[in-house]
Structure 1
Amino acid sequence: MNGIEQHRRDGRTAYHFQPAKNWQNDPNGPMYHNGMYHFFYQYNPHGPTWGSGKLSWGHSVSGDLVNWAAVENALDPTADFDINGCYSGSATVLPGGRPAILYTGKNADNEQVQNVAFAKNPADPLLCEWEKPSCNPVIPIPADVTGNNFRDPTEAWRGRDGLWRVGVGAEVGGLGSVLVFRSADFLRWERNAAPLHVSSRDIPELECPDLFPVAERGTEGLDVSTPGGAGVTHVLKLSDLAREDHYMVGRYDDAADTFVPAEPERGVDCRSWRRFDHGHLYASKSFYEARKKRRVLWAWVDETDGGGVGRGWAGIQAFPRALWLDGDGKRLVQWPVEEIETLRRNRVGGVEWATEVEAGGRKEIAGIVSSQQADVEVVFEIANLEEAETLDPKWLVDPRGLCAEKGASVHGGVGPFGLLVMASGDLEEHTAVFFRVFRHLDTYKVLMCTDLTQSSRKEGVLKTSYGAFLDVDVEKDKFISLRTLVS
């Protein structure tokens, strides 16, 4: 999201948020306040690796979610309650307009505790200074938490009783859990008797929980304190240590502070829940923007080559996406925020292109000035479904494996068809984004894949395949549309 010429020089991306240098990981506390977007993130100010783990909260501001300016770190490990690191958390704007941060600190005894910090001057549009009260930690580690796993508080929300709530990921008795704490003043917190969620023993650690309401109809977002009831349901999102994000739509009861999934058949193991994405996306965090009435999602895209010592930086943030509930009431729909389209205003070499490609063939989309940054919208017409292969039912539970077995170069009945992006002139290096259509019972299944096996000539880079089946009625529509932000 900085100048494209700079990205050409140092290999950085163009659409994705990055600090000027050094290591970043989880997005923290995004919010819109007094006309400015604030984005915080786990940050090592001393180098391009995770290092000792004594991380800070980096801080950047923007007026449009596209162009960002760095300000001083919001939080650094300076006190007994966070001296070994200021870890992930969330921001909440309190009544009267004062922003507050709840975050995990690793204290002098290396215990994970929950702390609070307040904006020193809420009228400052940059929110440059934050103060940590001496009463920290506001939530010490509970006695029944095992493995010192107690971290990543959610944005706080208010129940109908006027009390604040916050969810914290924890391991209790070897079970990954989300504990709920209540407070009247944001300083003294008491634990709710029931957890918001308890996973199976296969997942002892849950990270970066997120709970937010969504409208059952329409695309407008909702503030976290919107109560459940007619026309409103909730989303519980969890991250597991396999570097995956999962979510479930359901009913949240703010009297008992419990969550009932809409799809109980998927079980308590979040790995069987729905996914925001299939690939390198983790530790997502959302926020509600009242100005445009939307919920926006950020997520960390991690490294696959061991870090960025040679280039001086590591880690990017996926471009921000607007979220809303699909018509089936079980899935979320996401789309790049509209501000990204402002980059098209002065575009050079915009291309409208239509062609037919023979089976097994390729055609270059000519006229793109730079492959360093491209926003590609393409529609693939599917003229004939009669040749679609029959899907072996075993692949329904392993679409990623099917993508690996039937890669972009393996001819099929209907497919593969898609794009080769970031391709070298000899095509020895490229990333394939493609589709296949299969016949399954009396309908059709659409498989979408991203194949990274040829994405880099560099050794030590994780080069794998990702995939998922899409809920697309190709028999009715006869086409598949794809938008790809390349950078």
Structure 2
Amino acid sequence: MYYNGIYHLFYQFNPKGAVWGNIVWGHSVSKDLINWAPLEPALYPTKPFDINGCWSGSITILPGNKPVIFYTGVDTNNTQVQNLAFPKNLSDPYLREWIKPDYNPVIVPDDSIEPSKFRDPTTAWLSPDKHWKTIIGTRRKHRGMAVMYRSKDFVHWIKAKHPLHSSSNTGMWECPDFYPVSLNGNHGVDTSLFGNGFKHVLKNSLDETRFDYYTVGTYYSEKDRYVPDRTSADDHTGLRYDYGNFYASKTFFDAGKKRRILWGWSNESDTTVDDVAKGWAGIQTIPRAVWLDESGKQLVQWPVEELEKLRGKLVEIKNKEMKTGDVFEVKGIVTSQADVEVKFEVSGLEKAEEFDPSWEDPQVLCGEKGAGVKGGVGPFGLMVLASEHHEEHTAVLFRVFKAPNKHVVLLCHDTSKSSLKGGIYKPSYAGYVDVDVGKSGEISLRTLIDGSVVESFGAGGRTCITSRVYPGLALEGNAHLYVFNNGKEKVRVSHLRAWEMVRPEMN
């Protein structure tokens, strides 16, 4: 949340080690979303209603500028119940201590809800009838559901007769998020706004796939129904914030800069032994501003502007033509922590490979057609966190395919050679990019590189991918950055800018 000039990040945290368990609410604060200082945990298990864990939830700012935590507690019977916590001292700028009233829990699952499948209340919104409303993730058999509750005083909650929304064959919905987006411009809006000039976004983290999915649609407040538009699938084949290692995300409205900020969790792909040796596991991705694309069909995401304060030494390359098989190195900066923006001009689109309609899953396609498989137009892109002789590298690449009425653009993270270490999970990740490359003749890419993290934003943030990689050779000053073209057609790097990034204050 943003509160009185300070950003607060609360997160699921095990103070006793780099494995899951002993879950409390970690708490860190920042004035710029980039430099963070850790505080004592905000919540930890102390009461019968949360003695087996203080699980995920949200913050709502009540009238009078009073924040309240809404969280899932696991009680003495291992039932998931919903609880409230309030700041002990509103005059403390960091809100270090939180009080859990004895009237908790305020919501318990009724007979229609599995006691172990009822969690993660969202930031509440205030409707025109002056009722607060929230949704909680659950399932009924194999139907994922966002059950809705309403309250006049934020303490006494009544379950609505029907869910806000549900979808068959999606399984348990975790960490739901529901918020409005403006139809005009890229500014964010308060969670309670709705009606003309707004669409709504419903996002769910599907426990079965471990990915985050969202739809854009219409919220009918008088009926308490959300209806997705028909522009994307309402299941595990639908739109995703991020087509990589990114889960359990949550947005908040930043009232200071009038924007909606998205946080995502990126878990380790390293071995548990190595996690324990490091002493930590799991990161938050760089916070992203999120807004509705001009098409109204999907969201756009972009790293918060404050990240640019970490940019140091810059190298630039312009108008470099790349024939098939060409590779060149971006020199002059340390690239183990870097921010890279590049525009590729593509030509010869008539020579692009034919798109097979059976390629519904871009991740499978990326696994079959990685950086080493020559195509017509592509693969081309970056080799990041690369060793000098390329035996270790993560490829961030585009491929262009030819379909009957348009071109299909694939953005892919090929991590198959990201590390020579054993025991590491090295999946390829990919998503299709909604860009008319036949009309524009170019594709843009921004990639953030940070030790074990690679975050990519294709076509101005229309498709995003996060990977966790663990090079053994390409570390610190031994990490190299290359641009490559492995397609038959020429590609021109019209403009590349790469910044060495300085280290922020971190937990």
TM over 0.5: yes
Specify the alignment match of 1:64 in structure 2. 32
Query: What is the deviation of 1:256?
Result: 2.0
Equivalent residue of 1:251, what SS?
A: strand
Matches within 5 A, 1:220-369: 220-227=187-194, 229-241=195-207, 242-263=209-230, 266-267=233-234, 270-307=235-272, 308-344=275-311, 347-368=312-333
Is it true that 1:167 corresponds to 2:162 in the alignment?
no
442 and 253 in structure 1: CA distance in 2 versus 1, 3 angstrom threshold: closer
Identity rate, percent? 52
Equivalent residue of 2:327, what SS?
A: coil
Q: Deviations over 1:432-452 (max 9, x none)?
A: 000111111132111111101
Give structure 1 regions of 4+ aligned residues with deviation exceeding 4 angstroms. none
Equivalent residue of 2:321, what SS?
A: coil
Specify the alignment match of 1:48 in structure 2. 18
Query: What is the deviation of 1:386?
Result: 2.6
Unaligned runs of 5+ in 1: 1-30
Specify the alignment match of 2:152 in structure 1. 184
Taking only aligned residues, the RMSD between alpha carbons, in angstroms, comes to 1.4
Q: Distance in 1 between matches of 2:237 and 2:367?
A: 20
Could you tell me which amino acid in structure 2 is paired with residue 387 of structure 1?
Answer: K
Unaligned runs of 5+ in 2: 451-507
Q: Distance in 1 between matches of 2:393 and 2:51?
A: 44
Would you say the 8 A contact 2:80–2:115 is kept in 1? no
Is it true that 1:382 corresponds to 2:350 in the alignment?
no
Specify the alignment match of 1:115 in structure 2. 83
Would you say the 8 A contact 1:353–1:365 is kept in 2? no
Q: Distance in 2 between matches of 1:262 and 1:109?
A: 40
Would you say the 8 A contact 1:399–1:468 is kept in 2? yes
Specify the alignment match of 2:493 in structure 1. none
Q: Distance in 2 between matches of 1:403 and 1:264?
A: 24
Q: Distance in 2 between matches of 1:292 and 1:349?
A: 27
Equivalent residue of 1:475, what SS?
A: helix
Could you tell me which amino acid in structure 2 is paired with residue 378 of structure 1?
Answer: V
Q: Distance in 2 between matches of 1:183 and 1:431?
A: 50
Q: Distance in 1 between matches of 2:213 and 2:189?
A: 20
Q: Distance in 2 between matches of 1:223 and 1:362?
A: 47
Is it true that 1:99 corresponds to 2:67 in the alignment?
yes
Equivalent residue of 2:52, what SS?
A: coil
Specify the alignment match of 1:219 in structure 2. 186
1:475 to 426, 433, 438: 438
Is it true that 1:460 corresponds to 2:423 in the alignment?
yes
Equivalent residue of 1:422, what SS?
A: strand
Query: What is the deviation of 1:217?
Result: 1.6
Q: Deviations over 1:76-117 (max 9, x none)?
A: 011110000000000011111111000000001111000000
Where relative contact order (Cα < 8 A, 6+ residues apart) is larger, the structure is: 2
Is it true that 1:486 corresponds to 2:449 in the alignment?
yes
146 and 445 in structure 1: CA distance in 2 versus 1, 3 angstrom threshold: same
Specify the alignment match of 1:32 in structure 2. 2
1:203 to 157, 170, 179: 170
Query: What is the deviation of 1:364?
Result: 0.5
Q: Deviations over 1:266-314 (max 9, x none)?
A: 24xx213211111100011000011211000000001112431111110
Q: Distance in 2 between matches of 1:349 and 1:386?
A: 36
Could you tell me which amino acid in structure 1 is paired with residue 17 of structure 2?
Answer: G
Query: What is the deviation of 1:174?
Result: 4.6
Query: What is the deviation of 1:264?
Result: 7.4
Specify the alignment match of 1:24 in structure 2. none
Q: Distance in 2 between matches of 1:265 and 1:464?
A: 25
Q: Deviations over 1:376-429 (max 9, x none)?
A: 01111113223211112211x122221111110111111111000001112111
Q: Deviations over 1:137-192 (max 9, x none)?
A: 01012221126200000001100111111100012355321111111111111101
Q: Distance in 2 between matches of 1:285 and 1:398?
A: 25
1:410 to 361, 373, 377: 373
Equivalent residue of 2:310, what SS?
A: helix
Would you say the 8 A contact 1:246–1:275 is kept in 2? yes
Could you tell me which amino acid in structure 1 is paired with residue 145 of structure 2?
Answer: S
2:389 to 415, 426, 436: 426
**Greater CA drift, 474-483 or 413-422:** 474-483
Q: Distance in 2 between matches of 1:170 and 1:385?
A: 46
Specify the alignment match of 1:16 in structure 2. none
Equivalent residue of 2:349, what SS?
A: coil
Equivalent residue of 2:42, what SS?
A: strand
Q: Distance in 1 between matches of 2:50 and 2:26?
A: 15
Q: Distance in 2 between matches of 1:446 and 1:67?
A: 36
Q: Distance in 1 between matches of 2:245 and 2:232?
A: 27
Would you say the 8 A contact 2:378–2:399 is kept in 1? yes
Is it true that 1:157 corresponds to 2:122 in the alignment?
no
Q: Distance in 2 between matches of 1:352 and 1:320?
A: 28
With structure 1 as the length reference, what TM-score do the two structures score?
0.89
Query: What is the deviation of 1:372?
Result: 2.0
With structure 2 as the length reference, what TM-score do the two structures score?
0.86
Q: Distance in 1 between matches of 2:44 and 2:318?
A: 51
Q: Distance in 2 between matches of 1:184 and 1:452?
A: 51
Specify the alignment match of 1:83 in structure 2. 51
311 and 162 in structure 1: CA distance in 2 versus 1, 3 angstrom threshold: same
Q: Distance in 2 between matches of 1:183 and 1:147?
A: 22
Q: Distance in 2 between matches of 1:154 and 1:306?
A: 32
Q: Distance in 2 between matches of 1:328 and 1:386?
A: 26
Could you tell me which amino acid in structure 2 is paired with residue 457 of structure 1?
Answer: L
